[in-house]
Amino acid sequence: MLLKEIAPKHLFFILLLLVTSNTNAFSALPNNAVHLSQYHNRRVITTIRMTRAKQSSSSGTKSASKNTTKMKSNNVRWAIRGIAGEILHNVFLRQISRARKYLGTSKQQRLEEAKKVRLPIKNETALITGATGGIGSKMAHELAFRGYDVIIAARNADLGKDLVLDIQRELENSSSSTIKGTKQTPNISFMEYHADIHLSALDVASKLAVLNETKPLTVLINNAGIMGKAEQLSMKVNLLGPVTLTLALLPLMMKNCNDDKKNVKIINVSSSAHLRATGVFDEEDLRSSSKSLMNIFPDTKDEDLSTYAKSKLALLQFSTLLRHKLPKDNKIQVFDAHPGLVWTPLLRNHIGDKATNTLQKTGLASLIYKSPTEGSRALLAALDHPAGTSEEQLYFVNGQPGGFASPESRDLQQSQQLLDRLIAPELEGIVELPDGW
């Protein structure tokens, strides 16, 4: 009964069995039916968009069949290096490390550790987008306890202001017992931010220019994201929003590196789902004469989550560009981070109420998924990373550097095409690209 209820929505168990017993299992699937939807989804397999390939000429057909083969192998890559790795991590490694910690500490030590330790204030500001969400709100708490002034950039003012009060309350309750040498608490504030509206990023940047005088901005976390919504909206929220905000704040962050000799960090929240995408566009899209390729993403629902995968690949490509284009002597570190599978509204909305309730009731949710706090720590691990490490080390997966990012995400040519064909035309007249881009 339980299996019957969970299985259709939780394909990844079946997927995992397939992967571990026979990695060629995917080749048994029909050619045009290999898009396994993200995480544990919808009805088993959704049909990939083959219409364009069918309409094309013979050379187009060849390239379409090449694309299909690549899509298949990318799905296998994602199933093994993404999903299977994450389940292994969450179900086994995480539990082993919990058990070891439990056995290795006394009850008194555990009680001490459970108390939240607040670090002295830093006189630096961290801005986090989508901070009212599952992982984001926990990151905001963590950053405050690390001593940062925190700006909660979110679109829902009521939720944002409630979160400010919540963090302030927690800080005050913790201060007398934990803080040494100072009674000051960091400042927590809310700024309205809509990732799908360019001007909203400019508004945030102009407000920050004022605040930056006293507490320089040293951490930017592009966390806001959506999954399984309209395709074009997904590209706006998951790609154009973070790009616009980052470019609008870049002059300020570069100044903070130079004048105040601070280490500035940008964390772009990614996903292992990017491993499914073969590219953000295909060759035929690139031959299109339209100025911006944004119109290849329609307003229809991203049923098979292929646009989610592309948006996360595109964000990784933007990080790649940033690393290559920022002046070599700058001290801005650009990280990508994937939190792993985390039990948040983003996932719950996707799997639906029935599967959510079953997973919760049976305790499987906490076995398979990280909590939002664990997810937030996995992302913030990047903040503790020493400056000046190699590009491969800058992708954090499950809190560890050196995660597996797809070669496409580090492809400079593809990244430049993304900038030229999608980002630059969309941002024209809104935010200037730095010299030499």
Ligand X SMILES: NC(=O)c1ccc[n+]([C@@H]2O[C@H](COP(=O)([O-])OP(=O)(O)OC[C@H]3O[C@@H](n4cnc5c(N)ncnc54)[C@H](OP(=O)(O)O)[C@@H]3O)[C@@H](O)[C@H]2O)c1
Binding mask 42-71 for ligand X (x = CB under 6 A): ------------------------------
237 binds ligand X (CB under 6 A): yes
Residue span binding ligand X (CB under 6 A) among the ranges 26-34, 133-141, 175-183, 298-306: 133-141
Phi and psi (nearest 5°) for 320?
-60, -45
Please list every residue from 292 through 311 that binds ligand X, using CB under 6 A. none
Residue span binding ligand X (CB under 6 A) among the ranges 20-28, 59-67, 219-227, 393-401: 219-227
341 binds ligand X (CB under 6 A): yes
133 binds ligand X (CB under 6 A): yes
Residue whose CB is less far from ligand X, 200 or 212: 200
CB of 136 to ligand X, least distance (A): 5
Joined together, the tokens standing for residue 279 give 């590219």
In one-letter notation, the amino acid at residue 228 is: G
Single out the residue of 154, 257, 296, 332 in contact with ligand X (rule: CB under 6 A): 154
Residue span binding ligand X (CB under 6 A) among the ranges 220-228, 298-306, 392-400, 413-421: 220-228
Q: Which of 21, 23, 30, 48 lies closest to 302, judged by CA?
A: 48
Residue span binding ligand X (CB under 6 A) among the ranges 43-51, 69-77, 88-96, 128-136: 128-136
134 binds ligand X (CB under 6 A): yes
3-class secondary structure, 297: coil
Residue whose CB is less far from ligand X, 218 or 234: 234
Contact predicate 356/364, CB 8 Å: no
CB of 376 to ligand X, least distance (A): 9
Neighbours of 427 (CB within 10 A): 20
156 binds ligand X (CB under 6 A): yes
3-class secondary structure, 166: helix
Dump the DSSP string for 173-235. Answer: HHHHHH--S------EEEEE--TT-HHHHHHHHHHHHHHTTTS-EEEEEE-----SSBHHHHH
Contact predicate 265/219, CB 8 Å: yes
Q: Which of 116, 60, 1, 92 lies closest to 285, judged by CA?
A: 60
Single out the residue of 42, 338, 410, 421 in contact with ligand X (rule: CB under 6 A): 338
Single out the residue of 193, 281, 318, 335 in contact with ligand X (rule: CB under 6 A): 193
Phi and psi (nearest 5°) for 190?
-115, 140
3-state secondary structure 249-277: HHHHHHHHHHHHCCCEEEEEECCHHHHHC
Residue whose CB is less far from ligand X, 165 or 412: 165
Single out the residue of 79, 126, 135, 208 in contact with ligand X (rule: CB under 6 A): 135
Please tell me the distance from the alpha carbon of residue 60 to that of residue 66, in angstroms, as a whole number.
10
Joined together, the tokens standing for residue 379 give 């992302």
Q: Give the containing element (helix H, strand E) for 426.
A: helix 424-427
DSSP state of 149: E
Kindly list the strands in the beta sheet with 264-269, ordered across the sheet, starting from the edge strand earlier in the chain.
Answer: 188-192, 149-154, 125-129, 217-222, 264-269, 332-338, 395-397
196 binds ligand X (CB under 6 A): yes
Single out the residue of 120, 298, 345, 434 in contact with ligand X (rule: CB under 6 A): 345
CB of 296 to ligand X, least distance (A): 20
Joined together, the tokens standing for residue 125 give 């500001």
**Residue whose Cβ sits closest to ligand X:** 133
Single out the residue of 146, 194, 274, 331 in contact with ligand X (rule: CB under 6 A): 194
Residue whose CB is less far from ligand X, 130 or 279: 130
226 binds ligand X (CB under 6 A): yes
Residue whose CB is less far from ligand X, 223 or 256: 223
415 binds ligand X (CB under 6 A): no
Residue span binding ligand X (CB under 6 A) among the ranges 89-97, 131-139, 255-263, 294-302: 131-139
Q: Which of 58, 71, 81, 61 lies closest to 30, judged by CA?
A: 71
CB of 361 to ligand X, least distance (A): 20
269 binds ligand X (CB under 6 A): yes
Single out the residue of 34, 150, 171, 224 in contact with ligand X (rule: CB under 6 A): 224
List of residues contacting ligand X (CB under 6 A):
130, 132-136, 154-156, 193-196, 223-227, 237, 269, 271, 338-339, 341-342, 344-347
